[in-house]
Amino acid sequence: MLQVTAIPAFEDNYIWMIHDGRRAAVVDPGDATPVLDWLAATGHALTAILLTHHHPDHVGGVAVLSSRHAVPVIGHAEDAHRLPPLSLAVRDGDHLEVPGLALSLDALATPGHTVGHICYHAAHTGWLFCGDTLFSAGCGRMFEGTPVQYQRSLARLAALPPQTQVFAAHEYTLGNISFAAALTPGDKAVQAALAEIRALRARGQSTLPSSIGWERRHNPFLRCDDEEIGTAVHLAGHSATEVFAAVRLAKDGFRAP
């Protein structure tokens, strides 16, 4: 039976291990050491490396892992010039079978955080490995893409089934939901979520995975067509793209109390 396990890395990254009790694929190994430690402790054989984008905290461990394990490295063809050498370059809409595992993934191009970002959706299991495109209650900074690109990418992910589990790459939920609560102080559901997440983090527990359904209700970046969010950034009646750009700018300057 397939499972997903989080390996904490750096200050707040999650490296995701997809495994069946004997074999494992790793998503975004920014650091090789915790991955090698996990493989040694559990006895799993590494079968594949999946990359969502080129940032060092997502690809920094690939060289060492590849030197120890002769496994395919999978990433976006359009970002191949900035990724470690790829064994398999996928494009938007491609369907792939994860080597060594009974798992099918669909590649979803999601430009915004970077122009070459890609997510992996496992429709059968209801899993989404979304790197830095979508966070719980937030989204990544817009380093390379445009508001039009990013808002469309997020709308695409929001259209996935509500039960889809969201395996984002960072433990940013508390800061993100604090921003959402400050943006819409009258939203009781968001305020309740803030209290729940504060309690989880106080106990040292992870907030991930989230779900698409939960994100649709609590994540302001997935609610840019809602009047409440538009009003909060003084753009009621404007397009979702314009609202997204304003919310992203507000989040960039936000500091949680």
pLDDT tens-place string over residues 188-236: 999 999 999 999 999 999 999 999 999 999 999 999 999 999 999 999 9
Q: pLDDT tens, 58-103? A: 999 999 999 999 999 999 999 999 999 999 999 999 999 999 999 9
Name the DSSP class of 233: T
- Residue 235, pLDDT score: 98
- Residue 255, pLDDT score: 87
By C-alpha distance, which of 198, 203, 166 is closest to 181?
198
- Residue 256, pLDDT score: 78
pTM of the predicted model as reported, rounded to 2 decimal places: 0.97
* Catalytic residue set: 53, 55, 57-58, 113, 132, 170
ω into 85 cis (within 30 of 0): no
Phi, psi of 27 (to 5 degrees): -110, 120
Average pLDDT over residues 26-48: 98
The CA-CA-CA angle for residues 224, 117, 161, to 5°, reads 55
Per the prediction, the chain carries an average pLDDT of: 97
